[in-house]
Structure 1
Amino acid sequence: MMKEQELLMPVGTWEMLEAAVKNGANAVYFGVPHWNARGRTEDFSFEDVKAMIEYARSRGVRSFMAMNVLVFERELQELPEFLSQIIALKPDAFIIQDIGLARLIRAICPEQEIHASTQMTLASAEGVNLVKSIGFNRAVLSRELSAKQIAAVKSGTDLEIEVFVHGALCVSYSGQCLTSENFGGRSANRGQCAQSCRLPYRIFVDGKEFTETDAQYLFSTRDLCALPKLEELAEIGVESLKVEGRLKSPEYVAAVTRAYRKALDNISAATSKRGDLGLESSDLEPLEVLFSRGLTTGWLDGDNHQELVNGTFSNHHGLYLGKVVKVERSSVFVTAEKEWLPRPGDGILFEDYRFDVSLGSRLYGAQIVHNAHSKRGDGMRGMGPLLRLDFGYDFDTRKIGRNMDVFRNDSPTLEKELRKTFTDRNQETKRAVNMELSGAVGEPLTLKVWLAAPPLMQGMDKAAEVQSEQILEQAKNAVDPAALEALARKELGGLSATPYELGSLMVHVAGAPFVPGKVLRNLRQSAIQQLGASSLQWKEMNISAANGKKFLQTISAKFAVAAKKSAAAQDPSASLRSAQDDTQKEFGIVHKVAKPVISVLVRNPEQIAALKGLDIDNVIMDFDWGVKYDEPLQQIRELGFKAGMATLRIHKPGENHYLKKILELCPDFALVRNLGSLSILKDSGIPLVGDYSLNAANSASYEWLLDQGLQTIHPSWDLNSTQLFDLLKNIDGSRLELTLHQYMPAFHSEYCAFARSLTTGRRFPECGKICTQHKVEILDHKGERHFLQSDAECRNTLFVGRPQSALKLMPQLRTSGVNHFRLEMLNEDPETVRRKVLIYTQAIRGKVSIEDAIREAGIQEKYGLSEGQLFNESTWQNRKKCD
């Protein structure tokens, strides 16, 4: 028998909690007050959270609190008291993205369980094992892994593994998406995703609009449904199965919980043949009707770029019924694609994306017809059974044409049935409570009750024992043992107002006592009350906000010492000023003398020669698929620069060949972009620097990453300038690198938009390496163009068309101790590369004014120059919540 897997459900409201618990969830997750990573959901109060945790725990369900966002420095310093109060509410675990936050929670309460969020972009066993040292108990893997890759990760770590099995799929790797931030001023890493990927885009190939595709919604993925993969995931040993949807309805939560609970129970009990999960149409029907953009197994079966993105719509469409074949006055005949018959009152959507036509109506009635042929030449001869949809006369069916797609996207009847599963007490799934009643004449009655712990909560059995106040007296008449047991079962089984139902009952009453029903009822009430209190008991937790503050102070002191040492090494006279430095939190004056270190990142070998003779220090190679590194590396060194190689942004099982190439060529340094690569390269002897994709946003994250062997780290692009300088107050600025010029990466995706829109290929090599043959630009809804690029593993990055310049911050950065600066090229020709780099190096070296350099840099850009997120000081407000 397979080990039971945890079914983890989303909660955004109290009703969603009831829907999940009463339909069979093993665990639920919801947002931390004021730190909810789903900005549009209800923000619970402390009292709400306490009640929700107790409600779930009393029913054997675990509660996880999601705080899976990046935390900025000023916030981190203010968190110890807040976190100690949240931990005191006794959640089973926290879901965390930020490394610094995870460390702070561990400092405040070493016993607190923490899970590494999918926002940490963990896609290999090496990455999972690296963060294990922080104290994580579980890793939530990236959604882009196939089942085989999940198996490879699981076999390489002893940490618990959690994977997503149902709900929305993001087109970008979670934690690596800056689309909302760049296009809408709202950070996905701060729980404010604007779903920019769901908007329509136009494609330009080699400068001309490409219209030979149906993919208007080029980046809008279908939804995930892993029901066909559950047995395989169980065999792999995945501990937790997670459902996305804190913004969905409680009815949706009920439907998904019911379907997956039933499937998992059948797998666990081995009651079905392989591939047969015992699910009926009534289990599967609501999964599409209530909310669906079309269901797919996502990446679990590997890449299929044609299947992953429909391209013709991005919103909820529901269950696909078929295509229109005939229209009458108030009836529409549709090819019957599904066996599920729509119900009166259901919402029916008719759509033809080619002509941007979309209309719908409520259904009057539906039936399967076997002979819809009405006249010669109507094109229906030889067709099988059709679905006839009848509407009221107020619906103008003349607007409906043949071959329109038909969807069932709403069902009040279905929702009403699902709602009963968590509002009707008689339908509630309850925990079995076992009882033993004992006693004898001249003694009190004793009632023992106990709950076996759920399989996923072993070691947490709960029990209670109570005695009656009355002493049992001899009955005047003979007592039938069977009648006494029947009475006990009736009175002790009256548990309808509780989360329990009577399991086994043993009656051991000696002699022939008189047992009043009222005594049994009182015993039951007392025992159940005691059992409920026992169920809420929690393990001992050593919670200390003071320890959290001490942890942060230790980090600040460590960086202060390091900053002084660094300053003294760069300026011998700095030691004479050390007494003054002791009272300062910033060491900018000391660092002014340090010569800036300038690195240029190039994305094709032709750009290297353009750097000859320029006043730079390092060149970083970040080449496309199939481009060799050995000759360019030697060329860079011959030009007098240090040569660096950038790792890929993602590290998955079976992708060590690129890292082996780095180890083989032994560049002067490596730019590390993910935790898996950091784990592999940290002991290689190659100097390492960390990129923005590591999402360092606070001093506690910085310290840990530096301790893993990084010499410098680029901060997360979620920080604006105020947050950046807050950070620099508490770290050594000489260990921070900042890119002064780059095309911002909007998202980084396993999905290939080149293959989806320009070919019929499902994956490489079916695509014919189309990405190497054309330059593709994407036009957004604002009329701005962006560049689409692929990397060495065929992953796509959409780069914002207007590059970001941080030159305006140069004086303040220098006085904050920063002396490592980067310039990133994209697809510029060599002449343009040289002009750009020259402008920036002259400004960095102080040979031209910052203002003149910015003006000149803007002239060089095809679509202008942007200041980007660094200069965005606004705070996004959810207007719906503010109303």
Structure 2
Amino acid sequence: MNSSTRPSPELLLPVGTREMLEAAVANGADAVYFGVPHWNARGRTEDFSFDDVYDMIRYARLRGVRTFLAMNVLVFERELRELPEFLEKIISLEPDAFIIQDIGLARLIRAIAPTQEIHASTQMTLASAEAVNLVAGIGFNRAVLARELSLKEIARIKEATPLELEVFIHGALCVSYSGQCLTSENFGGRSANRGQCAQSCRLPYRIFVDGKEFRDTDAQFLFSPHDLCALPKLNELEEIGVDSLKVEGRLKSPEYVAAVAKAYRKALNRIPLDGKDMEPLEVLFSRGLRAGWLDGDNHQELVDGTFSNHHGLYLGTVAKVERGCVIVGLDDSLVDGSNCADDFAAGMGPRPGDGILFENAALGVSIGSRLYASQVTHLPHTKRGDPKYLRLEFGRDFNTRQIATGMKVYRNDSPALEKELRKTFTDREQAKRIPVNMELSGKIGSLLKLAVYDVPRNRIEVESDTVLEASRNGDAGDKLRDLAQKELSGLSATAYSLRNLEVNVERGAFIPGKLLRTLRQKAIELLDAKRCEWKELNPSAIAGRALLNSVKFGKTATPSTAGNAANARPVISVLVRSPEQVAALEGLDIDNIIMDFDWGVKYDESLQQIRELGFKAGMATLRIHKPGESHYLKNILRLCPDFALVRNLGALSILKESGIPLTGDYSLNAANSLNYDWLLSQGLQTLHPSWDLNSTQLFDLLGDIDGSRMELTLHQYMPAFHSEYCAFARALTSGRRFPECGKICTLHKVEILDHKGERHFLQSDAECRNTLFVGKPQSALKLLPELQKAGVSHFRLEMLQEDAETVHRKALIYTQAIRGKVSIAEAIRLAGVEEKYGLSEGQLFNESVWQDRKKA
């Protein structure tokens, strides 16, 4: 399909309030998405009621805009049991689709309403066609791709899947893969997989290299990316055939939504953008607009490192400071061409009342004030063609002596600009309306008829209650057209405007204005209803409960684990991250060793060594699978280990028919029995639960599944985030990507100091992706007796950077505890002694529930 015949992609806008909905619709959105009541994955936004949702769906559908309900969080077992009736009710409101992260929830919705459209959230970490096609079998209609994909990678996925694809084009970028971030939970007890992200990545961090603080970098905000703006990439995304273009920002303002929708609608309509379109995108909220990963990895461009908050539009640097005013040397991007002064005079520059920010990031100085006046100027003795300057004047209460030459200057607020944008969705005169045609017809002695139809042609017809009578005033008929035009065009309180009116009424008929108004009102109500008609969904909570019960009561042990699982001999696996750690496990009473090696490390010799030690050898897949990255999986197929630890859905799709025994990792985010059931049905022998579960939620899950098929890690350094972005390259080199970085990650040990004074380990994987591991490891030894009673017999220990001697001592302590040779209390004491930064019980023992601070 060529570009002239290909349908334009859908423009999808975020909604956190009713005003944001109106702003999106008024400025060109094709679809909007907002949170499900009580399940809103943006904990700080307004929680809509069911009546709100019904009204918003109707408001949007009437205007030809689709509505998607975001329920993109993990669902715990106890919650899952309570959902069928809730889902029946919310589906009855007739949303166009649900955006879903949890596989179990997706299955439940499909059971309750088989024709309900569902979209796979970006929280599912779908980064390859294999992953997308695997979840298509669940019934997903669309996949929201991971934001870390380049245009080339998106194109390869599009070519290989029949599912609709949705891509983020504007807004905040997460440094971690969505669905794989445990930073907020580890650092603050608030799970990003539950919509409670505290944006820990936006905090300042200090870097330690080989034990010493590294000061030769300006990247204090090492994990805070620029915001995404794909306006320059829209044509390429359209050429690829992306079905939906998504804007992030349910926590932003209605004015922000209006500005973004307006700019992207204009671009999609092939209307050239100008400075006035781009101005609000920067001023209202921006941490610097970049193309993100759409052009591939560029670690220097992705993260500025000197700030993490909204800065707005960059104006330039301070050239001179005077009493009450500051002279700013304008940035080249603002003076490109000779019309700088004209543009600023036309209202594109700073206006009185705007917020101005002065900053020296190196010194940690940030000063703001409201603007009194501004004008383009020149410094004395400048010549034609010299740089242009901006004179910023401030009130008497602002001490300009705080400002120094060289400071960066930003425009980060504009009440005047917000007022203009607000008019686009509050001023009835500016409202975009659906044009309708009307036909008024009738004869004396018959009923008066009014037909109304829109484009596409939804036609309705209404009649008067009484027949027409002849006019007693002979000239009344001559005024009928004017009267009809006046009364029938009164549509300002509706979604319509009158485009054309045909009057075919017998001359001499008497028609009062009140009758015309009544017919118009009845006609508009019917046209509203017709435009809001929706397909029959017939949701059934009973069908949902039947699915839940089939899984709960159908749980059975596999042949290999049949019998009394509670008395089964525990299976102990140790995950190692270097070949040197393998030999340290010789002679220990363990069963399996899982290899999870860094970039360039060979597996062949270690695989043979493990088998010679008498253990089964496993290989871990990477946590992400992207187009063109199957070479790592081919290596697993070539070496044919005794089993593979599967960490992503793409790898599961590729390996499920290989004949190699498979076990699933926590990164698959199994949090409930329906999720567990489906993942195990894809060929996994055992499965690790999501680390979002605490102990209560874990045992709720174990009550409804076969515990012999669960594996749990008793010791590990918890992963905070997993990122395509390489902090090694950004902070320690000038390299944009591999191999410009010189493989710096293989040469040094890097630790990150957080705002609480705790250190964490930064590690790269075989595809140069970074994982930040929490420096204080988590131990689940206290749960061991209860886990064994629940039938769990597969346990894992994970090593990170430990030397061989430490690996041996740690594994010995845990193995003796699992085998019952030392008490749990003694093992915990000994394990704590081994840790550099102490030992933690982690999320498993966190029983607190974060309280939403939502607007009522």
- In the alignment, is the contact (CA less than 8 A) between 2:471 and 2:477 conserved in 1? no
Q: State whether structure 2 residue 700 is matched by structure 1 residue 726.
A: yes
In 2, are the aligned partners of 1:213 and 1:757 still within 8 Å (CA)? Answer: yes
Partner of residue 323, structure 1: 317
Q: Does 1:353 align with 2:354?
A: no
Deviations 1:425-464 (A, max 9, x none): 11111112233334445543322222335xxxxxxx6331
Q: How does 1:777-792 map to 2 (within 5 A)?
A: 777-792=751-766
2:375 pairs with 1:367: yes
Change (3 A) 1:257 1:808: same
Q: CA deviation at 1:488?
A: 4.0
Give the alignment partner of residue 187 of structure 1, picking from 177, 191, 207. 191
- The CA distance in 1 between the partners of 2:182 and 2:88, in whole Å, is 31
Q: CA distance change for structure 1 residues 507 and 682 in 2, over 3 Å: closer, same or farther?
A: farther
Deviation at 1:669, TM superposition (A): 0.8
Structure 2 SS opposite 1:558: coil
Once the two structures are superposed, residues 722-754 of structure 1 have per-residue CA deviations (whole angstroms, 9 ceiling, x without a partner) of 100010000000000000111000000001101
User: Contact 1:201–1:778 at 8 Å: present in 2 too?
Assistant: yes
Amino acid at match of 1:428: A
Question: What amino acid does structure 2 have at the position aligned with 1:362?
Answer: R
- Say whether the 8 Å CA contact 2:720–2:772 is kept in structure 1: yes
Give 3-state SS (helix, strand or coil) of 1:279's partner.
coil
Alignment partners' CA distance in 2, 1:312 and 1:191: 27
Match of 1:562 in 2: 557
Is 653-662 or 463-472 further displaced after alignment? 463-472
Moved more, 465-474 or 827-836: 465-474
Name 1:304's counterpart in structure 2.
298
* Residue 414 (structure 2) aligns with: 411
| Matched AA of 2:665 | D
**What is the distance in 2 between the residues matched to 1:289 and 1:822?**
50
Q: Deviations over 1:507-556 (max 9, x none)?
A: 44566755554443332222111111222222111211111111101101
Q: 1:677-713 CA deviation, whole Å, 9 max, x = no partner?
A: 1111111111110000000000000000000000000
1:806 aligns with 2:780: yes
381, 384, 387: which one pairs with 2:387? Answer: 384
**Cα-Cα RMSD:** 2.0
Q: Deviations over 1:449-492 (max 9, x none)?
A: 22335xxxxxxx63311123454456789999997655544432
Q: Do the aligned partners of 1:23 and 1:428 also contact (CA within 8 Å) in 2? A: no
Match of 1:679 in 2: 653
Structure-2 separation of matches of 1:799 and 1:215: 19
Tell me which residue corresponds to 2:548.
552
Structure 1 residue 592 displacement after superposition: 2.8
TM-score (norm 1): 0.92
Structure 2 CA distance, aligned partners of 1:237 and 1:835? 55
Contact 2:318-2:408 at 8 Å conserved across structures: yes
Aligned pair partner of 1:253 in 254, 257, 271: 257
Q: Which moved more, 1:365-374 or 1:775-784?
A: 365-374
1:73 and 2:68 aligned: no
Is 2:44–2:853's contact at 8 Å kept on the other side of the alignment?
no
Output the CA distance in 2 between the equivalents of 1:434 and 1:425. Answer: 20
Asked if 2 retains the 8 angstrom alpha-carbon contact of 1:124 and 1:652, the reply is: yes
**Kept after mapping to 1: 8 A contact 2:92/2:538:** no
1:523 counterpart residue number: 519
**Conservation of the 8 A alpha-carbon contact between 2:477 and 2:509:** no
Amino acid at match of 1:562: A
Q: Which amino acid aligns with 1:530?
A: L
Confirm or deny: 8 A CA contact 2:720 2:773 kept in the other structure. Answer: yes
- Quote the residue 1:282 is aligned against: 276
Q: Could you tell me which residue of structure 2 aligns to residue 576 of structure 1?
A: none
Secondary structure at the aligned position of 1:86 is classed as: helix
- Kept after mapping to 2: 8 A contact 1:329/1:397: yes
- Judged with a 3 Å threshold, the aligned counterparts in structure 2 of structure 1 residues 30 and 880 are, in CA distance, closer, same or farther, namely closer
Of the three residues 710, 719, 722, the one matched with 1:748 is 722
Could you tell me how far apart the structure 2 residues matched to 1:879 and 1:502 are?
Answer: 45
From 433, 436, 440, the counterpart of 1:430: 433
> 1:23: Cα distance to partner?
1.6
Within 5 Å, give how 1:429-828 maps onto structure 2.
429-453=432-456, 462-472=458-468, 487-509=483-505, 516-559=512-555, 561-562=556-557, 569-570=562-563, 590-828=564-802
Write the letter of the residue equivalent to 1:143: R
SS state of the match for residue 622, structure 2? coil
**2: CA distance between counterparts of 1:740 and 1:481?**
90
Tell me, what secondary structure is at the counterpart of 1:176? coil
Please list every run of 5 or more consecutive structure 1 residues that lacks an aligned counterpart in the other structure.
Answer: 267-276, 375-379, 454-460, 571-589
Give CA-to-partner distance per residue, 1:623-669, whole Å, 9 cap, x none. 11111111211111111111111111011111111111111111111
Equivalent in the alignment of 2:167: 163
Cα displacement (A) at 1:792: 0.8
The answer as to 2:5 corresponding to 1:11 is no
- Superposed displacement of residue 59, structure 1: 1.6
1:566–1:734 Cα contact (<8 Å) kept: no
SS of the equivalent of 2:548 reads: helix
CA distance in 2, matches of 1:647, 1:207: 30
Which residue number in structure 2 is paired with residue 399 of structure 1?
402
Does the C-alpha gap of structure 1 residues 15 and 162 become closer, same or farther in structure 2, counting only changes over 3 Å? same
Give how far 1:154 is off: 1.0
For the 8 Å contact 2:451–2:523, the answer to whether it is kept is yes
Correspondence for 1:582: none
Counterpart amino acid of 1:748?
H
What is the DSSP-based 3-state SS (H/G/I as helix, E as strand, rest coil) of the residue aligned with 2:554?
helix
The equivalent residue for 1:273 is: none
Which residue in the other structure is 2:827 paired with?
A: 853
- C-alpha contact (below 8 Å) 2:351/2:374 kept by paired residues: yes
User: In structure 2, what is the equivalent of residue 421 of structure 1?
Assistant: 424
Contact 1:479 1:513 in 2 (8 A): no
Partners of 1:27 and 1:383 lie apart in 2 by: 47
Once the two structures are superposed, the pairs formed by residues 134-283 of structure 1 within 5 Å of their partners are 134-266=138-270, 277-283=271-277
Separation in 2 of the partners of 1:217 and 1:503?
Answer: 55
What residue identity is the alignment partner of 2:375?
Q
Per-residue deviation, 1:172:
0.2
| Aligned counterparts of 1:49 and 1:23: Cα–Cα separation in 2 | 21
List per-residue Cα deviations over 1:42-95 (Å, max 9, x = no partner).
111112111111121222111111111000001101111111111111111111
What is the letter of the counterpart of residue 326 of structure 2? V
State the AA in 1 paired with 2:538. Answer: N
Residue 818 of structure 2, aligned match among 830, 841, 844 = 844
TM-score, normalised relative to structure 2: 0.95
User: Is the Cα contact below 8 Å between 1:372 and 1:386 reproduced in 2?
Assistant: no
Partner amino acid for 2:165? I
1:261-280: CA deviations, max 9, x gaps?
111122xxxxxxxxxx5112
2:574 aligns to what SS in structure 1?
strand
Q: Is the 8 A contact 2:557 2:709 kept in 1?
A: no
- CA–CA separation in structure 2 for the residues paired with 1:231 and 1:472: 57
Give the letter for the 1:433 counterpart.
V
Q: Distance in 2 between matches of 1:481 and 1:631?
A: 100
Which residue pairs with 2:343 in the alignment? Answer: none
For 2:345, the equivalent position in structure 1 comes to: none
Distance in structure 2 (CA, Å) of the matches to 1:372 and 1:431? 56
The code of the aligned residue for 1:408 comes to: R
State the alpha-carbon separation in 2 of the partners of residues 414 and 714 from structure 1: 51
Partner of 1:829: 803
What's the offset of the Cα at 1:717?
A: 0.2
